[in-house]
A and B are shown apart, each in its own frame.
Chain A
């Protein structure tokens, strides 16, 4: 995991808004069995996006670059900076959920892609529009369950 830095908290929220729109499209397309293949391809885009965010962090992510070049110059300076590690951890949770959709689809589980897309919609909506990072929140819960051993 990358070293902790201080980042503009609106960066990850901007990224979540893009993922939010993408996952809404994925769910809409995935609910029709005829177009589930297209939804699967779009889900792979989400997998790649989350993989980049998990490995390199939000600031080195293309969405982070978009935020810095297009959005941030138009905003007031941030009131607070936040630690880069929680949103990066949340990217890992997103990666897990989107990969779950891939596995369900390959295992021919009905609406497998739609289930993953629904979960991504829920998390990205809370992050983008409410500032509530569900993935970050899951850290302690996962640790208590013994899923994560050490930071």
Chain B
């Protein structure tokens, strides 16, 4: 292969990867409306909050975050969402580690962690956020509820 062709292959690959990277940067952490109307089953979820099992949702908005042990952005995301919970009495943050919960991974079609489901008071999934949520995404998600 000639030098020119090799450089062309290399540059082509790098441009392609850069496009993927830019698209990922733009899309990660944004909310996607969920049209399924699916409701989260709290008994099956087995979420734990402050050492107690969660059996009911008590706030208008719940950010249900799915994490794994192999997740770069799960920690920072949890920090961000729990800060939001402290700042806003209408918000609850739940985190479930799905490393050994393949049932949940399949049920909620989790392709990446963190994946955050935005739930209303009844546990209906309003939207889902893949990756580290962007600050403006969270603000507009909370704004979608009549508080």
Contact = CB atoms under 8 A, between A and B. Distances in A.
Chain A complexes with chain B: yes
B72 A140 contact: no
A21 to B, nearest CB: 12
Contacts of B24: 126, 130, 132
Contacts of B100: 150-151
B14 A32 contact: no
Query: Majority SS of interface residues in chain A?
Result: helix
A130 B69 contact: no
B72 A28 contact: no
Nearest to A133: B72
B71 A86 contact: yes
A25 B44 CA distance: 51
Contact of B68 (A31, A121, A140): A140
B13 A118 contact: yes
A122 B10 CA distance: 11
Contact of A139 (B6, B68, B102): B68
Interface string A105-124: 00000000000001001100
Contacts of B5: 31
Contact of B10 (A28, A32, A83): A28
Q: Which of B13, B74, B105 has the most CB of A within 10 A?
A: B13
Contacts of B105: 140, 143-144
B14 A80 contact: no
A119 to B, nearest CB: 10
Contacts of A37: none
Interface in A41-74: none
Contact of A125 (B21, B68, B75, B76): B21
Interface of A: 4, 9, 24, 27-28, 31-33, 80-83, 85-87, 89, 118, 121-122, 125-126, 129-130, 132-133, 136-137, 139-141, 143-144, 150-151
* 7 nearest CB pairs, A to B: A130-B21, A139-B70, A31-B6, A86-B70, A31-B1, A125-B17, A86-B72
